[in-house]
Amino acid sequence: MNRFKPSRPHRISTVLGSAIALGTLLATGPGIPAAGLPRATGASSTYPSNCPWMDTRKSPDQRAKLLLARSTLGQKLRWLDEQSANSPTQTTFGGVTYPVQVPCTPTVVYADGPDYVRGPVGVTVFPAQLALAAAWSDDLAYVKGKTQADEAFRAGKNVLLAPGVSSSRTPLAGRTPEYLGEDSLLSGNLAAAQTNGIQRGNPKQPVMAVLKHYIANEQELDRQTNSSNMDGRTLREVYDLPFAITVSKSAPGGVMCSFNQVNGVWACENQIQNTLLKGEAGFDGYIVSDFGSVHSTGPSLVGGLDQELNRPRFYTPANIEAALDAGQVTTAQIDAAALRVVRAYLTAGLFDHPLPTVPSTSTSTAANKAVAQAVAERGSVLLKNDGSVLPLAGRGKKVAVIGQTASNTPTGGVSAGTVCAEGRGTSVACPNPVAPLDAITARATPAGQTISYDSGADPAAAASVARDADVAVVFGYAKQGEFADRATLALDGNGDNLIAAVAAANPNTIVVLETGTATTMPWLANVKGVVQAWYPGDQQGTALARLLYGDADFTGRLPMTFPKSLSDTPTNTPAQYPGTFADGSTTRPAGSTAIRQVSYSEGLKVGYKWYDSQGIEPLFPFGYGLSYTSFAYQNLRVTPHLKSARGTVTVTFDVRNTGARTGTATPQLYLTLPSATGEPGKRLVGYDQATLRPGQSSRVQLTIDAASPDHPLGFWNTTKHAWDAAAGGYQVQVGASSRDLPLTGSFTVS
């Protein structure tokens, strides 16, 4: 289902506040068609006579062909390496010399940035991408991408290596927080919206997006020496699908291939780049490697890799010319790769709008910080609220705030900056966020409340502070990021024992979790409230205080399943994770460069589909989240039945606010295919959001479009080698999460 309807600013205006002119931010919203980016505006059609490719009246494809027609082979080869492509006035890179580039080519600067613009100082540190996913809002993802691109351009960067999608097959994966959850539709839609924001949000400050990491890049352990092994149906339905959705709905300029092998072939030289990404998905941008993920020259170029990241190593002129002489590659393949890169740069506007001469060292503005705050608020998920322990209302109340990450003052090297963003726990990127302790204190004082604080370094001392309070808010954290997977789903820093001690001392204990993945909660039955805040960015305190005190409602919903234990997850055998070597061992032999073989034998049973198909009760299901109000779902209508697996099915229903305050519902639509397809349980095929006053009802309409790139009715037919659909009955379910679906209907395909 295509969720990219015209923007609905009223649904996020209360979150973003008056600091942002929403009409400006959403001037170009997610509803833009995906048939390529609009040509850059504001650039003159007057151009130097020796640079006909600067004629903006021509299409990007025409301009790229004009440039390459004037280029020597050596000049074409410059486009196949990042450094030589992006620094046109330089000729030597890492000891490799190129000819001078043709004139009128731009300086291009890449920056990593799935969550925020990494590298420059003075930027806004947005919450983790998983928090954005938990907001379930295409509109907010677009605004976040637009805001991030604004900061990138002013900081002197015009390509963002972002966003990223994955399938979160194991919650231990180190980069889980920089992806968008376990569901293909949700992550694909949000990545597309963010990409549209990056590439379309600021036409006079163009920034290009590079979607990553293609493909089956699901663990950090041995990421450069493992093979993701799976059948073709699993590859398409689970791991390729979010990329295909993003490409179809946003046309990113680039896609980055990953480190790992796929079925024994390196991702960056794997023919699936041609057959699936450029072929079936219709991607017409260029493929760039991750740093160090190239292992060959000829096979990589033939396999679809267009550009090598960083300095030339395999894509040097000497190597490519040798491959050409040996018949491994053709001039047509070289020309095609160069064309893809140049065309993508032209399409994005990089030729027509130069970067600022002097990059800004302070790009974060009040409006941009408000977007970060909005993501932190909308992405925080209320998991438990027994006895309405939240909001923290009542004059004269004594509130104990406990935990190292609540304060900007480090304890044992851990502070609020430690959990600001994904990483290995340093606060370098976020040295002075709005600390929760400061924001809670500022909010509590006018309410006549008193705040006490303890770092929690000594659980006994923390329990003593908690015992003297009316309510205790205790923070738990877990570090996570690139280069290493987690070994456990327990909290870091003795966090589980700290929470247990505080809960034993105070019956009104609220837990705030600042983590990048699911965690087990052995203390869950003994606390009144649980808030999942993820890595909440540099506006974390402001957002959290508003939520805890009820100035904002909790609207976040889980984008991934929380298991009760690690053994409940889909990857519960050594062969599935971490993968094995030839002798069956999971431990790499000393000095060995052998490829770790990772079996994706769970197949299609990833995320909530695993728990549903196995009958395993999760700790908290996919799509789950509480609010300060309540909602009822009624009056389902499904029309029509289909004569064939084409056309659309309309699903309408009422959502009513049955509580005492305004809140936002996130209705979710799931579809179960006929059993003959062999699909494991239901799949998400639509979602929406509705902000309702007490007693207010809204009629919601969702459309299941059989022709949508997410293939809502489809399965990969391994006999036909094509997407297919089955005749029979399709069950429709609507509700508040994957396990709370009160409305049930059906339609048939005949």
Q: At which residue do the structure tokens 């009422």 appear? A: 654
pLDDT at 533: 98
| Exposure of 361 in the CB half-sphere (CA atoms within 13 A) | 0
Helix boundaries (H) for 515-590: 540-548
pLDDT band, very low/low/confident/very high, at 427 (cuts 50, 70, 90): low
pLDDT at residue 16, as a whole number: 42
Query: Do residues 220 and 174 lie in contact, with contact meaning Cβ atoms separated by under 8 Å?
Result: yes
- pLDDT for residue 43: 52
Does the pLDDT at position 3 exceed 50? no
Confirm if 687 and 3 have CB atoms less than 8 A apart: yes
The pLDDT value given to residue 18: 34
User: Which of residues 548, 577, 597 is at a domain's end?
Assistant: 548
Average pLDDT of the segment spanning 198-213: 98
Residue range(s) defining the domain that contains residue 64? 53-348
pLDDT score for 27: 38
Domain count, the chain: 3
Residue 431 above 90 pLDDT?
Answer: no
Query: Is residue 110 domain-shared with residue 233, that is, in the same domain?
Result: yes
Checking if the pLDDT of 36 tops 70, the result is no
Q: Do 82 and 312 touch, CB atoms closer than 8 A?
A: no
Q: Clarify whether residues 279 and 402 are in a common domain.
A: no
Question: What's the pLDDT at 81?
Answer: 98
Query: How does residue 5 score in pLDDT terms, banded at 50, 70 and 90?
Result: very low
Residues 128 and 238 placed together within one structural domain of the fold: yes
Share of the chain above pLDDT 70, in %: 93
C-alpha span between 300 and 312 (Å, rounded): 13
Q: What is the DSSP letter of 452?
A: E
What's the predicted TM-score (pTM) here?
0.94
> Per-residue pLDDT tens for 637-678?
999 877 777 889 999 999 999 999 999 999 999 999 999 999
Any domain includes 360:
no
pLDDT score of 471: 98
DSSP character at residue 222: T
pLDDT at 46: 85
| pLDDT tens profile 291-349 | 999 999 999 999 999 999 999 999 999 999 999 999 999 999 999 999 999 999 999 99
597 pLDDT exceeds 70?
yes
Tell me what pLDDT residue 278 has.
98
Please indicate, yes or no, whether residues 337 and 391 belong to a single structural domain of this protein: no
Verify that 319 and 385 share a domain, yes or no.
Answer: no
Are residue 387 and residue 483 in the same domain, yes or no? Answer: yes
Tokens in use for 341? 């890169």
Q: What is the pLDDT of residue 609?
A: 98
On whether residue 302 sits in a domain, the answer given is yes
DSSP 101-116: PPSS-----EEE-SSS
Q: How confident is the model at residue 39 (pLDDT cuts 50, 70, 90)?
A: very low
Coil/strand/helix, residue 566: helix
Domain boundary among 526, 548, 570: 548
Calculate mean pLDDT across residues 234-260: 98
Mean pLDDT over 584-603 rounds to 96
Residue range 357-401, pLDDT digits in tens: 999 999 999 999 999 999 999 999 999 999 999 999 889 999 999
Can you give the pLDDT at residue 424?
59
Here the CATH number for the domain that contains residue 82 is 3.20.20.300
Q: Is residue 71 a part of any domain in this protein?
A: yes
- DSSP class of 481: B
Residue in 135, 164, 188, 131 with CA at minimum distance from that of residue 709: 188
Residue 40: inside a domain, yes or no? Answer: no
* 128 and 88 part of one domain: yes
Residue at which a domain ends, from 523, 548, 573: 548
Closest by CA to 533, choosing from 219, 188, 140, 134, is 134
pLDDT for residue 8 is more than 50? no
What is the per-residue pLDDT across 690-724, written as a single tens digit (0 to 9) for each?
Answer: 999 999 999 999 999 999 999 999 999 999 999 99
pLDDT at residue 576, rounded to an integer: 98
- Same domain for 325 and 253? yes
* Inside any domain, residue 126: yes
- pLDDT at 42 exceeding the cut of 80: no
Q: What secondary structure does DSSP assign to 678-747, as a single string?
A: ---SEEEEEE--EEE-TT-EEEEEEEEETTSTT-TT-EEETTTTEEE--SEEEEEEEESBTTB--EEEEE
Q: What is the pLDDT of residue 506?
A: 98
Q: Is 677 helix (H, G, I), strand (E, B) or coil?
A: helix
pLDDT in tens, 390-408: 999 889 999 999 999 999 9
Within this chain, do residues 479 and 433 fall inside the same structural domain, yes or no?
yes
Asked whether residue 595 is assigned to any structural domain, the reply reads: no
Domain of 440, CATH number, reads 3.40.50.1700
The CATH number linked to 711 is 2.60.40.10
- For residues 49 and 66, the answer to whether their CB atoms sit within 8 Å is no
Residue 447's alpha-carbon distances to 202, 434, 450, in angstroms, are 42, 20, 9
- When the pLDDT of each residue in the chain is averaged and rounded to a whole number, the result is 93
| 673: its two tokens | 């295919």
- Whether the per-residue pLDDT at 413 is higher than 60: the answer is yes
Same-domain pairing of 146 and 73: yes
Annotated active-site residue 61? The verdict is no
Q: What is the pLDDT of residue 490?
A: 98
Catalytic residue, chosen from 139, 240, 290, 454, is 290
Per-residue pLDDT reduced to its tens digit, 517-553: 999 999 999 999 999 999 999 999 999 999 999 999 9
Q: Are residues 169 and 273 in the same domain?
A: yes
Residue 334 included in any domain: yes
At 426, the pLDDT band (50, 70, 90 cuts) reads: low
**Same domain flag for 286 and 387:** no
Domain membership of residue 218 (yes or no) is yes
Q: 16-20, 186-190, 499-503: lowest mean pLDDT where?
A: 16-20
